[in-house]
Each structure stands twice: as C-alpha cells, then as structure tokens.
Chain A
Amino acid sequence: MIQDASRRRLLFGGAMVGAGALLAACTSNEQAPTAAQTKGPEGDNANAAPGKAVTIGFSAPAADHGWMAAITNNAKAQAAAYSDVTFNSVEAGADAAAQRAALDTLISQKPDAIVMLPHDGKELTASGLKAMQAGIPVINLDRAFTQALAYRVMIKGDNYGMGVSAGNFIVAQMKAKGVTNPVIGEIAGIDSLELTQERSQGFKDALAAAGFTVANRRAAEFTVDSGQREATNLLQALPKIDALWNHDDDQGVGVLAAVSQANRSEFIMVGGAGSKAAIEAIQADNSVLKATVTYSPSMASSAISLARLVAQGRGLSDLVELSVPKDITLASETITKENAANYLQLGF
C-alpha cells in the first residue's frame, strides 16, 4: 500500500520534471549565428568550388557559457554552408575523461578530419595522437596540445595578445588624457586557467612598457554574478580609478551592473572577447565601456574550413604554399566606437 503510494508520488515527481523540461523548450533562447560568422562559397575563390565529399568530426566541451555556445553553433553552421561536408558532432560531456571517450567513438568511425576543442590541451593530447596515428588529421582548436605530433593544424586565439591589446588601448587613452600615474584595475577570469594567466601577463607587460602597473586585480569565475561581486569589491578598494580591464564580456554584464550600482563613471573600461552586448554598448557610448579586445568564436568556423581543405588536400589560395599551414594564431583586435559597426556581425 505504502509502496504503491510512494511509487505513484515518484512518478508524479518525474512528471513534474518532465513538464518543466517541456515548458523550458517553449521558452528557449537558442541563438543562431549570424551570416557573417560563417563564410559560404564566394565568387572567385577557387577553394569554394565543391571538392571530394568529406566527413568532419567535431568535439567541444558542452559549457554553459556564451562563447563556448557560439563555438559549437558556428562550427555547425559553417559545415552546413558546404555542400561537400558531412558534419559529425559528438558531445564532449563534462570533463576530459568524457571527451576522451567520445573521441574514441569518433575515431573509430574514421572521419576525414577531426576538429577538436579540448577541455584541456594537456589532458587531450593523447587523443589527438591517437587520431593522427589512425590517419585522421586533427585540427586543434584554441586550447593547444602539448605535442606537435598530435595535430595537423592548430588555430587558436591569442590570450597574451588580448592582454597586450587591452593594455595598449589603455596606455594610449591615458597618454591622450595626459594622465601620468593612472590607477588601473583588472577583473580577470578563472585564475587557475592558463588562458587567464596569459591574458594577465600580456596586460601587465603592455602596461609596464609605459611605466604603468595594475593597482588591484580580482579574479572572477566568468559568470555574471561573480563579475558583479568582484567588480563591487574592486571599486570599493579603489575609490578613484582611471582604467579597468575586464577579461570577459559575458561576466562584463555583471561588471557593468556593479559600476552603475556604485554610481561610478570617472574611468574607461575595456572588455574582452567581443560579445554582441558589449559591441552594442561601445557603439551606443553611454557607459564606461569604451572598447573590447577580440577573441572571436568565429575561429570555429575557420577551423571547419581548414579541416575541409586539409581533408581535400587543398591549400589556402592566397598563400604560395600548396597546403594549409600548421599553426594559425588569430590577432586580438581592438573594437572601439569607430570600428564597432564592422565587428557587430561577429558578436556572439
């Protein structure tokens, strides 16, 4: 009797979760990439002409972050733009072990190339090696493997360069304003990640070249609420500042909220990555956010294009080389009010 009752209630609980999921589906906010984030076949580009039909495997961590979501969406959309590409995406799961397992399955299916954004390049190098040994060229996306044998092409963003770009912009602005000894704040991302350390190092080096230093640096967690919390504390610690660099535009929503809650506007702020919301704010020019330095998820689209060329044995037509180069590091560009219109299409 009691057994029955509890089972019925368990089913009821399950039904509630199910109903929640159904409702969620109705209110979902999935965002499709813009046309500019992918590049379809264009007029006189010889590489655009359909070639041998190829299958491209894809694996990226399933993160709940805007940038990572854009990576997967862009890759999918870019693959769909080619008539000769079959896209085979595997969910990478929650950690390195899960991604390794997913990749094993992918490798056994023998695709013509694999585009892989690893959880951690160090932990996934073995999977890259395994694929390469099986004769499948690996396109290492963004997080670098430790061994050159583990990939055919690497395409990544420039974390150190992001810091340099942000630092250079701030130095130029301070010089233009005639501020000789500026108070500079920094809201970093997750401190244990190599990418965060590289960004901070680049920032530090660029500032040091002008004789400037960071007065206060808080590490957040790439989330809006951690950005708000750390920015509030930083603003409290520095009653007057001249410039602030925030590593990530997603957490920047929280940072900007903290700035307006503290009623502060005496400084300039630079963002990071280039989200649509940030580019729009720079364009509107009604907040402290005056610039952002790019780390664009459009690199996923480029990775798919490169994988296709590698699998089809073609090169990059503007280069003299007959095949695709091994390493490509994107430049971190600075988006300001002047050029924001050009970059809005790349915002995620």
Chain B
Amino acid sequence: MKATTADPGTRPEIRKDGGDVLRRWWTSESNEFAGRNLALIGVLVVLIALGALTRPDLYGDPDWVRNNVFTILQQASAIGVVTVGMTFVIIGGGIDLSVGAIMALAGVWATTVATQSFGAGGMIFTAIAVGVGTGLVNGLLISYGRLVPFIATLAMMVAARGLAASISGKQTQISGNATINGIASTEILGVPLLVIILVVVVAAGWVLLNRTTFGRRTVAVGGNPEAARLAGINVRRHTLLLYALSGLCCGIGALMLTAQANSAQAAMANLYELDAIAAAIIGGTLLSGGRGTIVGALFGVLVFSTITNLFAINNLTTESQNMIKGGIIVAAVLIQQFRFGSLTKLFSRTA
C-alpha cells in the first residue's frame, strides 16, 4: 500500500502539479461561470438529447427545432424575469414568498376595466407600480418593521392573492388591449419579444450584481449584515431596495404573463415563488445569502422549462415531471457542494 492512500484523513500531496492546478482553475473567480454552470449546461444538453432521441421525427425538422428553442425560452421568460429579482433578494440574505401573488395582483389590476380604459400605457404603468409598491411594503415591513422576511412576504402572499380576487371579482379578466396582447406574438429580427425582454433583464441583473456598488453591497449585506453596517452601508435602505427590485421584476413578469394568456386571474402564477427560489438555488445562489449568480439562475429556469417541454413532446404526466424536477434540484445542489475541487480529491484518493 502506498503512503499517499494510507491516511485518508490528510489531503493527498501528490499531483500538486496536476490536481491542484486543475482545482485552482475550477474554483477560481474567473472560471466561476464554467465551474458552477457547467453541470447545468450538461443537464440542458442531456435533456435536449433525450428529446431528440425520443422524438426524432420532430427534431429532424429544423424549422420545428428553431420554433421549439424559442418556445422553451418564451415559457421561461416571465418566471426568468422574476427569478432575477428573487436571486437579488436571496443573495441579500432574504427570501420573497410573495412573487407569485404579486404577479397575480399586478396582472389583475392592470387588466381591470378601469385600468384598461387608459390603454397600454396605463396597463404597463399599473402593473409596474403595483409590483414596486407591494415590493416596497415587503421591504418596509422587513427592514424597518423588523419582521422576518419569511413572515412578511408570507403575509403579502396571502394578502395580495386576496386583494387580487377582490379586484377581479373572482373572474378571469380578459385583456382586450391589442398592444399588450401583442407583446406575446411580436418578433424582432426573428426573435420573440418576450425572449428579448428576458435577455435584457438578465443582462441588466448581471451588470447590477457584478459591476456596480449596488451589487457589491448586496453581497456584503447578505454575507454579513453587521460587517456591512460597520462598513458604512445603510443596510435597512439596501434591504428595502432589494424587495422593491423583486417587486419591479414581478410587475414586468406579470405583464409578460398577461400578454401570453391574453388575460389575468387571481389564481395565476401559482407557486411561482417556489419555482423562482428553486431556480436561483440550483443556479448556485446560497440560500443563506452572500453568494449567487444571475446567469446560473437563468440556467436553472431553462432546465425547468426544458423538462416541461421534454415531457410534453413525449406525452408524459405532470406528476412524473414534478418528481424529476425534485430530483434535479437535489442533484444540482449536490454537484455544487462536491465541486471539482472535491472531485479531484476523490480521484487522487482512489488512484
């Protein structure tokens, strides 16, 4: 037996030239994208390959494939926008359980008869204002009212659905506005507008998180609020802004969903909060705050909408889809925990 494998308690020192360099490469900041998201890209590739294998008749048609890619992206668009806001909130050390309810409220309010009479501009303004307004209420309750985020946003989740049901008279509010409905079918240079909105929001989120003071403060507040306060960051105000940002994303998402369904309903965007949290987490965002990536969250959303698509083209049930979803959440987080650093350790130990 070799000396290197005799004591599993100490880190193997051989392969310093190989394993260690590799490990440093995978875990270094510049390769965070590859290290964290490669697993998710792998999952996406596997899912698409499974689709091509099970339905070669469909995947043999290039027009269908192009159309399907945009379908998957469009299905991911509204939840993707909301997930960007959710990722900021979670990185900042909070949680927002009210996103689905806020989307329903914003959508329903924007489609009431009274609001629709102001035209598309009125509807857009209303949805955004309701989103930001409810986000601010969440933020005020949490940062200045000192409520735990879980409780404050849980209360908002219940209250916003109630308010949405009351405003809509429990009826489906049909949007008769051609401009709003047109958002779902407009294409610019062959790319659906919904996909463009998603890309713009994700890009804006990435810049905000990685290239601005606001982003650095978010990470600081989520990582250690006390240290952030001592460093001169107004933690309360920052927390308030994070929830307002999440609300803004909900308002945009609500408009996208309303455009897609040509209507809004108090029950719509059901359980979006859980999908958004799951997508953020499997995208590499730490649930306890202080770390996370926007691009990872986008991949998380894409994995979910690709699964839905794969199951639909093979006529499989929603139940089995949900079980697979659960498995993927666990697998993705496990893969992140045993990242490549641990894997090289594993290999060198068994070598």
With known contacts A16-B137, A216-B312, A254–B267 Cβ distance under 8 A: no
Say yes or no for A170: interface residue by CB 8 A criterion: no
Rounded to whole angstroms, the CA-CA distance of A145 and B181 in the bound complex is 43
Give every chain A residue within 8 A of B141 (Cβ-Cβ).
Answer: 10, 13
Rounded to whole angstroms, the CA-CA distance of A21 and B130 in the bound complex is 12
Say yes or no for A181: interface residue by CB 8 A criterion: no
Give every chain B residue within 8 A of A228 (Cβ-Cβ).
Answer: 260-261
Give every chain B residue within 8 A of A29 (Cβ-Cβ).
Answer: 112-113, 167-169, 171, 173
Least CB distance from A316 to B in Å reads: 31
- Choose one: A13, A222, A227; the contact of B140 (CB below 8 Å): A13
Say yes or no for A342: interface residue by CB 8 A criterion: no
Whether A31 lies near B264 (C-beta < 8 A) is no
Give every chain A residue within 8 A of B171 (Cβ-Cβ).
Answer: 29, 31, 66, 69
Say yes or no for A63: interface residue by CB 8 A criterion: yes
Rounded to whole angstroms, the CA-CA distance of A20 and B137 in the bound complex is 11
- Choose one: B61, B133, B161, B264; the contact of A224 (CB below 8 Å): B264
Interface residues on B, range: 35 or more
Say yes or no for A68: interface residue by CB 8 A criterion: yes
Whether B308 lies near A229 (C-beta < 8 A) is yes
Give every chain B residue within 8 A of A26 (Cβ-Cβ).
Answer: 114
Whether A9 lies near B144 (C-beta < 8 A) is yes
Whether B137 lies near A233 (C-beta < 8 A) is no
- Choose one: B164, B174, B181, B312; the contact of A218 (CB below 8 Å): B312
Segment with Cβ contacts to A, from B279-287, B313-321, B329-337? B313-321
With known contacts A6-B145, A232-B75, A257–B317 Cβ distance under 8 A: no
Segment with Cβ contacts to A, from B34-42, B63-71, B86-94? B63-71
Give every chain B residue within 8 A of A224 (Cβ-Cβ).
Answer: 172, 261-265, 268
Q: Which residues of B approach A to under 8 Å, CB–CB? A: 55, 58, 61, 64, 67-68, 71, 74-75, 109, 112-115, 133-134, 136-137, 140-141, 144-146, 159, 161, 163-174, 181, 184-185, 257, 260-270, 308-309, 312-315, 317-319
Among all A-B residue pairs, the 8 with the closest Cβ atoms: A233-B312, A69-B170, A64-B266, A9-B144, A30-B169, A224-B261, A257-B262, A254-B261
**Can you list 8 contacts pairing A with B, beta carbon distance less than 8 Å?**
A17-B159, A24-B109, A24-B166, A217-B315, A219-B317, A224-B263, A257-B261, A277-B174
Q: Which residues of A approach B to under 8 Å, CB–CB? A: 5-6, 9-10, 12-13, 16-17, 20-21, 24-31, 62-66, 68-69, 191, 215-219, 221-230, 232-234, 236-237, 239, 250, 253-254, 256-258, 260-261, 275, 277
